Amino acid sequence: MTDYILALDQGTTSSRAILFDHAGRPCGSAAQEFPQHYPQPGWVEHDPDDLWTSQLAVARQVLREARVRPDQVRAIGIANQRETTVLWERATGRAVAPAIVWQDRRTADACDALRAAGHADTIRARTGLELDAYFSATKLAWLLDHVPGARERAEKGELCFGTVDSWLAYKLCGAHVTDASNAARTMLFNIHQLRWDDGLLALFGIPPSLLPAVVPSSADVGMTHADLFGAPIAVAGIAGDQQAATFGQACHQPGMVKNTYGTGCFMLMHAGGTPAVSHQRLLSTVGWRLQEASQPCYLLEGSVFMGGATVQWLRDGLGIIRTSGDVEALASSVPDSGGVLLVPAFVGLGAPHWDPYARGTIVGLTRGSTAAHIARAAVEAIAYQSAELLTAMQRDAAQPVLEVRADGGAARNDLLMQFQADLLGVPVLRPAVTETTALGAAYLAGLAVGFWADCQEIAAQWRCARRFEPAMPADRRQALLDRWARAVARAKDWEAPL
């Protein structure tokens, strides 16, 4: 009888479940999209029940279709969209408000006020993060101030806060927990002391009783309720999606870099056992902590808010493609973008700009511009934004980056991967398993229950499926990057107060 690890990958636009065997091979997969809600410009919400029901549905589906019994599943690992903020009743597990998604910009003004009051440096020093609406702290404060009765109930200990990993763990097994990789994205967690920061809780007005316990990323935190899958299964791994992908890409040594091409794009470099200090407005964050007494791994991270979501906008907003997978053919139907550049700052700009008031911009349009040119510009925009991250990362790092390991749905786009290698000037490697977020969650859970022995065994399973070598002359690359910088400058500060 074969045993498996079940990975739950709860993303921004879909929930996915994948079964992995001992060789790290996917043996079954199911995915389900769920609705996105945009109640006001700059606001992005999810129904927490949609996150849970879609994740449970695909988990049950993959077990059913793969004909795997629950006693064959050694453990469940959770990877999740980070920073998205959920508030629920402790007694009932019922959400008391829509989840505020990481892309949401409603608290940009609150961040401006905190910055004006001189708190940005303290927040950066303690959390490794930029003071920005991206992170959970101001989202949670907003919920406490705007949901009727929420602050009073929170003070009484009646409510729970969590990022999506906490929400899923609570629903799966009743544990109110998170791991350090997710806690580090809240702007409430001291990454040096590895605990919730009392000073930051006071600054944001967050009652400590709301907070989950912080557990190792690889640890048995509880058994699922028996009625969910027919028998209890251990929940044994938790990590934010980008940290999980870094672990799944076997970037276990300092200096190794991966870039995930998902809803957003997230480039992370292994920075070793101490927090990295960025001078390029990148983030220093916790990667994973395998055991309670072990030294955590720290990462240097750059975040792009609109990666694959730009392609979804072509599909849902403009209607120029029928499915996201159609974009490569349309973009490849023209030799280049015809001078068109698309800056997808629909929800502001992330690293290294951190401009919540930037907005989406298309420049270079002529009468000859077509849907194909816009599609190509959208694909290229994903690569341009990621190139900015690597440039910043190399300026911060003490050693040059030799290669970038790519994953995520858009990493299957050959046009994008080749253009990315051309812009980066280093090889881009696409692994045999591109669903490395789920794989990383599986590895963390499997380590906790002895399914895999150690990180060396995991690293030995990594395989490259295709290597994209840079082929663009250096002067051409620099000219394109300079032109991109001019386009970004035109997108900045668009919604800034007059």
The binding site for ATP comprises 12-14, 263, 308, 312, 409
Annotated binding site for ADP: 12, 16, 263, 308, 409, 413
Annotated binding site: 12-14, 16, 82-83, 134, 241-242, 263, 308, 312, 409, 413
Annotated binding site for sn-glycerol 3-phosphate: 12, 82-83, 134, 241
Q: Output the 3-class SS for the chain.
A: CCCEEEEEEECCCEEEEEEECCCCCEEEEEEEECCCECCCCCCCEECHHHHHHHHHHHHHHHHHHHCCCHHHEEEEEEEECCCCEEEEECCCCCECCCEECCCCCCCHHHHHHHHHCCCHHHHHHHHCCCCCCCCHHHHHHHHHHHCCCHHHHHHCCCEEEECHHHHHHHHHHCCCEEEHHHHCCCCCEECCCCEECHHHHHHHCCCHHHCCEEECCEEEEEECCHHHHCCCCEEEEEEEHHHHHHHHCCCCCCCCEEEEECCCEEEEEEEECCCCCCCCCCEEEEEECCCCCCCCEEEEEEEECCCHHHHHHHHHHHCCCCCHHHHHHHHHCCCCCCCCEEECCECEECCCCCECCCCCEEECCCCCCCHHHHHHHHHHHHHHHHHHHHHHHHHHCCCCCCCEEEECHHHHCHHHHHHHHHHHCCCEEEECCCCHHHHHHHHHHHHHCCCCCCHHHHHCCCCEEEEECCCCCHHHHHHHHHHHHHHHHHHCCCCCCC
Annotated binding site for glycerol: 82-83, 134, 241-242
